[in-house]
Every structure is written in C-alpha cells, then in structure tokens.
Structure 1
Amino acid sequence: MRKWMMGLLLQAGVMVAAFAQEQVPSPPAPPETGNLVVEIKPFTSEQELPAKAAEQLKSGGLEWGVRDGKMVFSMVGKQFIDFPLNHMTRYGQQESLSLPAGEYRVTGIGLEMHTSFSVKKVLERGAFFNEDVVVFRIEPGKTTTVSINPIIRKDAIFGSTFYVPTLMASVRNEAGETPPVALNVRGPTSIAWPQYTGPLKFVAK
C-alpha cells in the first residue's frame, strides 16, 4: 500500500512538473527595427567668412541624441541639457543606427549669441526650444534618413566672432523627401529658456 501511494505521488509530481513546464510563457518577440541615417551636409555660408572661422567650422559638427521616440539636436552645450546627446557628427559626414520601429519627434535647441560675462545670462537671453518641429517614422526593415543642411545666413552672424549655422532638416525615405524645416530659428512657437519647464533642461537639485 505504501509503495503504491509513493508511486502515485511520484506520478503526480511528474504530471505537475510537466504541466508547469507547459505553462511557462514563451519569451516575447524582439521589437521590429529599422535603420536611421543622420546625414550632416557640409556647411555653406551666404557670405564669405574669415579664413580662420571657415577653417574652424570645417572641423565642427552637431551634437544630437535619440531616445524613447524623441530626437534632439542642440546648439547648447550638453552640460545644460538633460538628454543623452551622445552623438557628434561632423559636417560632411553621416551616422547610421538601428532603432525600434515607430514614430519619432525632433526637437531643436537653438542659441542666439549675446555678449555677456555670465553663462546664465547668455542662456536666458539666447537659448530656446523648438519642440516636435519634425516628425518621422522608422519602418521595420527600411531606412529613413534625417538630413541636416547647415547654412550660415547673413542675419545669423553675431558681430565678427560667432557664426551660428541654421540647421535645415528634412526627412528622406522611399516615399520621397519632406520640405526642409529650420530646427534652431526662433519663431512664434519657440519656448525661451526661462519659460521652458519640460524635461530637456538640466536643473541642478
């Protein structure tokens, strides 16, 4: 009788174990991904620049980052921005990375240069946010290109020291290319640095 009971318990244990194995959920399928190319064109200028300034700009580039459906290009130093600006692509170069499929929104952080001995004053007077000025999609298995054309316009030359390019952004995919949009030009929808309360501005705690 005892052996029979032990055998029954053993069989029951095997059955429970087998049932438990059948109930283990399969791992979720990996998210579908597509390819993003960030293309930074060589800078151009609407007027001739001093040789030294032109040489410095040739070796310059743009800082940007992408996370959780948001892409940010910034003319403000990354120490003042609470977003991973972990890419720096030089003028005339491009960078490619794989991203989860879905919608992405581009924000430009602009900076109009003002002479001041205080960084805080420069930011308060000159920095601003252009939120969600470009929207694009990453499609599974396909390539989307965000193209940035940096143009130094006559009205964006501050004195004879600061040369700030206007970043004209367009999106290119199989359907064609969108009209260019300025990422770092102050407009009616821009949010000035002091008035901005969103997540992109670093605030020391």
Structure 2
Amino acid sequence: MRKWMLGLLLQAGMVVSVSAQEQAPPPSETGETGTLVVEIKPFTSEQELPAKAVEQLKSGGLEWGVRDGKVVFTMVGKQFIDFPINHMTRYGQQESLPLPAGEYRVTGIGLEMHTSFSVNKVLERGAFFNEDAVVFRIEPGKTTTVSINPVIRKDAIFGSTFYVPTLMASVRDDAGETPAVALNVRGPASIAWPQYTGPLKFVAK
C-alpha cells in the first residue's frame, strides 16, 4: 500500500521525478513576452524531523506546469491530472522561462492523506482543487516571480512516513510582493475531487 500512496504524492519530498519538455501558452497577439521565475525556497518544518526524512526531503522539489494562461502546482500524481505537469524545481532552486505577456492564474491541487487500500478512495476523500488561488500578470520585457515557501506544519505530518509541505505562494514584481496564499490547504472555496468537473482531472474514456 505504501508504494502506491507514494505514487499519489508528488511533493511530500519523498518522490523525485524528471522534467519533460516544457509547454508554454501560445504567443500573445502582439508577440510581446516577459519572464516568469518560479522560485522554490528551501523547505522548513515546524517540528524536528527524523534525519532520514530530512535527507530525503533535501532531494525533493515541486512539480508544476504552465499552459494557456494557467499555472498548476500539484500534490497528486500527474497520471491523474489532464495538464502538462512538465517542470520540476527542487527546494532552494528556481527556474525561469519566457512567456507571452498577459494574465495568468495559479491552481493548486492538494492531497490530504487517508488510509485506504483503494487509490480512488484516497483521491475521493483527500484530493481537492484550489482554482485561481493566485492571479498575476506577465508584462512585456519584465520579470514576474512566483515564490513558493514550503512549510511542513505539525498538522500535515501523517504518521512517520509522509511529510506534506504547505505551499505558501506569493508574487513579486516591480510593484512589490503580494501576501502569501496557501495553494494546497483545503478551504471554503476548494473543490473536492468527486465534485470537480473542470478540465484538470484526467478521466479515462
């Protein structure tokens, strides 16, 4: 059971994957571009973690993708997501890429771990979508930074195996930095996996 549960969790710090070829939104009508920087800060924890867990987390990171004005960070395995999750940025590193100028919206796909022998049951009980949690603009010739601060909170440690960081996201540009927003914490606006009917959930046909 532990193996497939690890497969569900992309970013508990235990699972490392390889980036695929990037896909970007189509060019704007004017052809103007700016730069997006995704900055992943080193993870921190509200309580002391076992040395083995710390070593595993150090080699972890966050997977994300961007297409058609949407940026998605997911804690659910990308085999369940119908979106190009093709970037992997490690804790303490950053990645930049040129994007067409315009508005972009960030969605976080969270996962609360529950004990079950069924993958579908874990998704139904624990997975959820936070759509448009952060909105920002790419301005022509300028750089916009989406900064992610991964914090392992006491209430997000499941047993002694799964360490799930809370992804606190803020946007930094020439105007300053926005207040941080949690991308993967369930709230009143979250959409549970069974109720979600949008384009991000993979549905076998």
Give the shorter-chain TM-score range. 0.7 to 0.9
Q: Which has the higher helix share?
A: 1
Shift of 1:30: 5.6
Where 1:202 maps in the other structure, the secondary structure is: coil
The number of residues matched between the two structures is 178
**CA offsets 1:20-54 (integer angstroms, 9 cap, x no match):** xxxxxxxx976100000000000000000011111
Give the corresponding residue for 1:72: 72
| Structure 2 unaligned regions, length at least 5 | 1-27
Give the corresponding residue for 1:191: 191
Give the corresponding residue for 2:15: none
What does 1:18-167 correspond to in 2, within 5 Å?
A: 31-167=31-167
Please report the TM-score for the alignment, with normalisation by the length of structure 2. 0.85
Shift of 1:158: 1.2
Where 1:141 maps in the other structure, the secondary structure is: coil
What does 1:165-204 correspond to in 2, within 5 Å?
A: 165-204=165-204
Please report the TM-score for the alignment, with normalisation by the length of structure 1. 0.85
Runs of 4+ in structure 1 over 6 Å off? none
Task: Calculate the aligned-residue CA RMSD, in Å.
Answer: 1.2
Shift of 1:86: 0.5
Letter in 2 for 1:139: E
How far apart, CA to CA, are the structure 1 residues paired with 2:125 and 2:71? 24
**CA offsets 1:153-201 (integer angstroms, 9 cap, x no match):** 0011112211100000000001100000000000001000011000000
Give the corresponding residue for 2:21: none
Q: How much identity, in percent, do the aligned residues show?
A: 90
**CA offsets 1:54-108 (integer angstroms, 9 cap, x no match):** 1111100111000000000000010000000000101011000000000000000
